[in-house]
Amino acid sequence: MPFVYTEWQHFTTKDGLPNDHIFAVKADGPRVWIGTEGGLACYDKRTGKFRTWTEKDGLPWRVVSALDVDPKTGDLWLGMFGGGLARFSGGRFDHFHQLNSGLVNDVVYGVAVENDNVWAATTAGASRYNTVKRKWTIYTEKNAPMEEIWNYGVSYNDGKVYLGVWGSGVLEFDVATERWKDYLDPDGEMEIDLYRDDGIVHVITTGTSYIDRVLWVSTYFGMCRYDGRHWRGYYAKETGLPSDFGNAVKGRSADEAWYATDRGLAAVMDFKTDTWVTYTMDPKTHKGKAVVQRGSTVLKTIALEKTIPHNYVLWTEVDGSDIWVGTSKGLAWAKGSGYYPRLKAVVDNRAKPDASLTTGDASK
Amino acid sequence: MNRPMKTQLLTLACVLTLGISAYGGPGKRSVPATDQKGAAETAQNLRKINAAGTYGIPNIPPRHDQNYARTSKDLQPFGYVQPFKRHFLEQMIYSGPGRGIAEPGKLAAVKIGFIGPIMSTVSVATGGASHEETLGIKMLQGAQLAIEQANDKGGYVKRQLPFQLVVSNDNGLWGASGNEIIKMAYRDKVWAILGTVDGANTHIAIRVALKAEIPMMNSGDTDPTLTETNIPWIFRCIGDDRQQGYLLLDYLYGKRNFKRIGIIRASNRYGRFGVREIRDGSRRRGHPIILEMAYQLGTKDYSLQLERLRDANVEAIVHWGDATDGAAILNQMRKLGMKHPYFACDRCVSDDFIQIAGEDAEGIICTYPWNPMRQDPKLDAFREAFQKQYGEQPDTYAAHAFDGVNMVIWAIQTVGLNRAKIRDILAYRKEPWQGVTGAIPLTAALDDGGDVFLAFREKGEWHYYSRRDLGLSR
């Protein structure tokens, strides 16, 4: 069995969040930064308290759509949806936008810190800002293999920057060589995926996460995994994905990745055995369940008092053994005491199995 | 029955009646059975949409299409292989919490956004030249007329508030359309947005609409990929280049028996994506396009492209681009002695084209998303009102914008001021919208699946022929 998260805590405006619509979450040691549709928040895990910033506190624009922390300086970088880019440092916001910097567009979907550089995925290309030399580089179809320039997500790890580009698949930027490589759907058609594992499942890409030399990808048409040689496509009809509409992805290892979808949260917990755990919330009772699947076969359904606060999941973040989940109606903290990777032959006594312990095809 | 409930029901009855008159067509004294069915279905959908609340999804079966965009077997990509996954067959569902947001209290007007190219621009995305203002201005006129007519009938009936159009120019520079949608969604607080024309700018706009959760109605962008994005917030009320391309393909190969077609197109997104189905479809039907030549926007000399096409020994030429370019190309073709049959996209059915092409226009055939010569009292009334208001006849951009805004107004009147519910009532509607441009049945991808036409220039006039008129089966 894979590890199943059974201890969940929810946060909404009643607990101090500036807004319940959560676009981004970034764990940073004892702090957790939260980007919402109505401001920025920071949760201190030691005190259990929130601090918030809205426009009246100097936040340049209310909609915070992306977050990353510079590990060298501790600065927080914010991508704002229609408000450009900001650096939060020493209690001050520095604002970078189309008219005062090399930011290519103010509609920022993703932000990632790469060494001394900050990348912003915008609706009209990507910008890379060298924070030491204060130099901007803009990437569009003119100097990168972007079939379209509509950047959606950006992530950095291990010498590689990955851009998820709407209409242009995934672009890989090798930091050492400054060379680009593109990953497109080999069939080239919007209305079909000819073969599941022949490449990225679709060119309308929303998120990327690179870890342990494995690239995890989310799209609005299914998800996928690439190990540098083989692609594996994931669709709801044969996995634990509650939907093919993927808003974001976060990889924890080469074996485990978390997918934020519009119908719930799904994690590939063990790639090799295709084992999934899917978390959803009952719209009527607001109670939850975790479904353990191997492919489309349900192994176990675990009824939980609480899982995610809403099934429309926009973001997910790995924080040590814990998982943070941003939804369009609140934030969730899944506490992973006793977490173990991949699978274990265990008898899990922490959660009471559902009376209707299910085996068979998953009902989506 | 308590008073608020009674008031609500009376309002709903009034709205549904307005809806019926909106899609039933004037001149019909009694409410047809299909309209009664539509009204009953709308009322039932409304109950289910309201019942979904913050956490649920309306218990309404999503639309399911048997094949995408009614594509015939011989035009399907990789037609002889069963793909692992087919997209766009099941209607997209919005599963977020938006339905739980209460209608706001104090309001001076009910705002509807408009984004379109209404001023000249130095757009990069459109190829560097300003060329779409004439289309955007017509679109704005159609939208404004719909707003004014709705206000003449009492505005937003439930609260007696006027509708107001919040107008933005789509200048296409550096993704500016995205910034405009943000402004309309968060600052102006519009309830839905109509726009825009350029394919690239519309793509940027709809991505913003998805995150901001606001319905967008498109009446002027015929790029097929617009609704091939799985965004549950985008609707299109005009037949796209895929549908127009399919009809042209059937005519070229099924009726005229051509074997060697050449293409000349604009080098922008409109030209590139407009001919995609023609290029792919020709190959799939066993007659690959012999030569495809692109020209830069703003060029005046097409001799290079035309001479190459002539030398390639093509039987007919298809043009995809703006009207002025299309006409200049036609003139230069004829000057070069090229007597090839000339086919073009819907943008060439315009006064500009005729003015420049002159007598050369005779005999050309264009695709067209509707039949403006159709006998329909509703269309006649629209023409008359438009002529009275603007002193000229409406074109395709004005007519489709008029329909698009009316669809949005109908949705607002039916569900109230809630963006998710406005989306829902349009998305779950099964009955085609009966607009001035004809029937608009939405597909599972929320695209216009209605009839498209071929416009023939015959004896100095445009004549419009449907698939049926031309004896073409799918």
Taking alpha carbons only, the member of B357, B380, B383, B328 closest to residue B460 is B357
In percent, the amount of chain B with pLDDT more than 90 equals: 82
User: Given an 8 Å threshold on Cβ–Cβ distance, is A167 in contact with B225?
Assistant: yes
Q: Which amino acid is at B78?
A: F
Q: Answer yes or no: is pLDDT of A246 > 80.
A: yes
Please state, rounded to an integer, the average pLDDT across all residues of chain B: 91
Would you say A85 and A96 are in contact if contact means Cβ atoms under 8 Å apart? yes
Task: Give me the torsion for CA of B344, B349, B350, B352, rounded to 10°.
Answer: 30
Which chain B residues are Cβ-neighbours of A283 within 8 angstroms? 52-53, 55-57
Q: Which residues of A touch B95 (CB under 8 A)?
A: 243, 262-263, 311-312
- The burial class, CB within 10 Å (0-12 / 13-18 / 19+), for B343 is buried
Q: Are A66 and A24 in contact (CB under 8 A)?
A: yes
Residue A310: what are its φ and ψ, rounded to 5°? -155, 150
Question: B11 vs B257, which has greater pLDDT?
Answer: B257
Bridge partners of residue A118, in order along the sequence: A113, A129
pLDDT digits (tens, 9 = 90+) for A149-167: 999 999 999 999 999 999 9
Test the B interface: residue of A127, A191, A311 with most B CBs within 10 Å: A191
> Given A98, A150, A201, which is nearest B204 (Cβ)?
A150
Q: Which of B48, B182, B214, B443 would you mutate first to test chain A, the one with the most A CBs within 10 A?
A: B182
Rounded to 10°, the helix B241-249/B276-284 angle is 40
Chain B: residue nearest A65 by CA?
B211
C-alpha A288/C-alpha A296 separation (Å) is: 20
Contact criterion met (CB < 8 Å) for A328 and B97: yes
Query: Worst-scoring range by mean pLDDT, B26-30, B34-38, B335-339, B342-346?
Result: B26-30
- CA B79, CA B58: separation in Å to the nearest integer? 35
Give the largest Cα separation in chain A, rounded: 62
For the beta carbon of residue A133, count every other beta carbon within 10 angstroms: 9
Angstrom CA distances, A79 to A83, A119, A173, B78, stand at 8, 10, 20, 41
pLDDT digits (tens, 9 = 90+) for A39-85: 999 999 999 999 999 999 999 999 999 999 999 999 999 999 999 99
Query: Alpha carbon B229 to chain centroid distance?
Result: 16
Select the residue from B101, B230, B246, B423 to test the A interface by mutation, using most A Cβ atoms within 10 A.
Answer: B230
Helix H or strand E encompassing A314: strand A313-319
Q: Distance (Å, rounded) from C-alpha B22 to C-alpha B407?
A: 9
Please report which confidence band the pLDDT of residue B34 belongs to, taking 50, 70 and 90 as the band edges.
low
B88 touches chain A (CB under 8 A): yes
Q: Is the pLDDT of residue B25 over 90?
A: no
A326 min Cα distance to partner chain B (Å):
13
Q: pLDDT tens across B89-127, in order?
A: 999 999 999 999 999 999 999 999 999 999 887 655 555
Cβ density class A282-309: b for 16+ within 10 Å, e for less: eeeeeebbbbbbbebebbbbbbbebbbb
Which residue in this structure is represented by tokens 């030429």?
Answer: B317
Asked if residue A354 has pLDDT above 90, the reply is no
Query: In the β-sheet with A360-361, what is the strand arrangement from edge to edge?
Result: A246-251, A257-261, A264-270, A275-281, A288-294, A297-304, A360-361
Predicted pLDDT of residue A24: 98
Sheet-wide strand order for B342-344 = B291-295, B261-266, B316-320, B342-344, B365-368, B453-458, B461-466
- The pLDDT tens digits of the residues spanning B373-393 come to 999 999 999 999 999 999 999
CB contact under 8 Å between B54 and A329, yes or no, is: yes
Residue B244 near residue B346 (C-beta atoms within 8 A): yes
Q: What CATH code would you report for A7-361?
A: 2.130.10.10
pLDDT of the residue at A352: 53
| pLDDT tens by residue, B135-161 | 999 999 999 999 999 999 999 999 999
On whether the CB atoms of residues B235 and B195 are closer than 8 A, the answer is no
Nearest C-alpha in A relative to B88: A191
pLDDT at A135: 98
- Give the model confidence (pLDDT) of A174-206 as tens digits: 999 999 999 999 999 999 999 999 999 999 999
Architecture of domain B10-57+93-239+375-442 in CATH?
Answer: 3-Layer(aba) Sandwich (3.40)
Do the beta carbons of residue A3 and residue A269 sit within 8 Å?
yes
Quick one: DSSP state of residue B153?
A: T
Structure tokens at B322: 């703006």
Q: Is the pLDDT of residue B195 over 90?
A: yes
Over pLDDT 90: what percentage of chain A?
94
Q: Identify the sign of the CA torsion B251, B472, B430, A310.
A: negative
Query: How far apart, in whole angstroms, are the C-alpha atoms of residue B440 and residue B451?
Result: 8
- Cα angle A292, A294, A299 (rounded to 5 degrees) comes to 45
pLDDT of residue B123: 56
Q: How confident is the model at residue B130 (pLDDT cuts 50, 70, 90)?
A: low
pLDDT of amino acid B269: 87
pLDDT band at A358 (very low <50, low <70, confident <90, very high): very low
Q: Which residues in A2-17 are b (16+ Cβ under 10 Å) and which e?
A: bbbbbbbebbeeeeeb
Q: With a cut of 60, say whether residue A22 has pLDDT above it.
A: yes
Cα distance between residue B252 and residue B292, in whole Å? 16
Pick from B225, B275, B245, B238: which is nearest to B75 by CA? B245
The amino acid present at A339, given as its one-letter code, is Y
Residue indicated by tokens 């959760």 = B213
Q: Between A106, A190, A329, which is nearest B225 by CB? A: A190
Q: Contact at 8 Å (CB) between A256 and A268?
A: yes
Average pLDDT over residues A330-347: 93
* Pairwise CA distance, residues A303 & A286, whole Å: 12
Rounded average pLDDT over A251-275: 98
pLDDT of residue A137: 98
Q: Count of alpha carbons within 13 Å of B195, Cβ hemisphere only?
A: 37
Check: CB of residue B449 under 8 Å from CB of residue B442. Answer: yes
Q: Is the pLDDT of residue B7 over 50?
A: no
Say how far residue A25 (Cα) sits from the centre of its chain: 9
Local confidence band at B23 (pLDDT 50, 70, 90 cut-offs): very low
Could you say which architecture CATH assigns to the domain B242-368+454-466?
Answer: 3-Layer(aba) Sandwich (3.40)
Q: Using one digit for the tens of pLDDT, what is the confidence trace for B432-443?
A: 999 999 999 999
Give the model's confidence band at B474: pLDDT under 50 very low, under 70 low, under 90 confident, else very high.
confident
- Contacts of residue B108, defined as CB under 8 A and 6 or more positions apart, other chains included, come to B161
B230: number of Cβ within 10 Å: 20
> Containing H/E element for B37?
helix B33-52
Length of chain A: 364
Cβ separation B77–A189 shorter than 8 A: yes
Interchain proximity B78–A194, CB inside 8 Å: yes
| CB-based burial, B267-283: b 16+ in 10 Å, e otherwise | bbbbbbbbbbbbbbbbe
Q: ipTM value of the model?
A: 0.94
pLDDT at A238: 97
∠ CA B208-A31-A68 to the nearest 5 degrees? Answer: 40
- What ranges do the domains of chain B cover? 10-57+93-239+375-442, 242-368+454-466
User: Which residues lie below 8 Å from residue A282, measured CB to CB, with a gap of 6+?
Assistant: A288, A289
Which carries the bigger pLDDT value, residue B473 or residue B457? B457
Domain ranges of chain A: 7-361
Spatial contact of B219 and B404, defined as CB atoms under 8 Å apart: yes
Decide if B466 touches A, using CB distance below 8 A: no
Which candidate from B96, B178, B212 shows the least CB-CB separation from A123? B178
Is residue B182 over pLDDT 80?
yes
For A212, the 3-state DSSP assignment is coil
Q: Which residue type is seen at B168?
A: S
pLDDT tens-digit map of B319-342: 999 999 999 999 999 999 999 999
